[in-house]
Amino acid sequence: MKIYIDGKFYSERDAKISVFDHGLLYGDGIFEGIRAYHGCVFKLKEHIDRLFYSAKAILLEIPMSPEKVSGAVIETCRANKIRDGYIRLLVTRGKGTLGLNPKSCSRPSVIIIAGKIQLYPQELYARGMDIVTVPTVRNLHSALNPAIKSLNYLNNILAKIEANNAGVEEAVMLNAEGFVSECTGDNLFIIKKGELLTPPLSAGALYGITRQTVMELAQQAGMKVSEPNLTRYDLFNADECFLTGTGAEIMPVIKIDGRIIGTGKPGKLTRKLVQDYHALTQRSGDPI
């Protein structure tokens, strides 16, 4: 595997950053997870745009233009002969001092890793997933805005630990008001009486690119789509439920906190959206 670091490629063994990099010391940085399908990078512009939005929010000056970052992503895929895979794009604050002041960091670092990913066991996509609600609350907008895809994922990791302790793969996170926010790394959707519903961004949900894609596919299929505040009660009484994410794609959910969702099997409309999503990935993207 060849890793891109600040304009050069390194072998996996030789790819290194400084122990004084504030991305390592303090989680001071941002990232994007991107997918490649059939020799094309899917939704590359949307991911690069979101990366630069996150950078602006934390006053991080990416030392490359959006066009050059996009080119580096494609170049890294080519260097690793990736046709179907996962790309992790990171920008750290860079090497600084042991103090947390970002002014001590002279230049941010851009790192790109292109490889494979399998977030969940393959059989769950056919059978559906069990999830639970966990005590860890989603970050407040006034603390660390969930819209920022920062390298500090401890909030999500704590929730993932609680999911693991409960014997499941994924967790529902609520916000401080008790409304459903998202899962540890995925957006959450329910279907009720043919309508697609997902928590609003104001509830702490990430502006997911797969989330937006699925909403558009649902509208094209004639479904009504809305973003109301949702409670656990709404989840329990949904006809169908699924998760979305770049790595996860679309994952059906069949049980939440011990309550069976719908028929206890991936629903008809969920399966339709999965088909439409896979069809879309086969015909769009930036060529590698």
Instruction: List residues with catalytic annotation.
Output: 149
Round to whole Å and give the CA distance between 201 and 212.
Answer: 11
Helices 44-57, 209-220: crossing angle, 10 deg rounding: 130
Q: How many other C-beta atoms lie within 10 A of the C-beta of residue 95?
A: 20
Looking at residue 2, its amino acid is K
Round to whole Å and give the CA distance between 199 and 63.
Answer: 34
Round to whole Å and give the CA distance between 208 and 142.
Answer: 20
Round to whole Å and give the CA distance between 65 and 277.
Answer: 30
Q: How many other C-beta atoms lie within 10 A of the C-beta of residue 5?
A: 17
Helix H or strand E encompassing 192: strand 187-192
Helix H or strand E encompassing 129: strand 129-133
What distance, in Å, lies between the first and last C-alpha atoms of the chain?
17
Torsions phi, psi for 195 (to 5 deg): -100, 140
Q: Which residues fall within 8 angstroms of residue 216, CB to CB, at 6 or more apart?
A: none
Longest dimension (CA), the chain: 56
Query: Would the CA dihedral through 138, 89, 131, 276 be positive or negative?
Result: positive
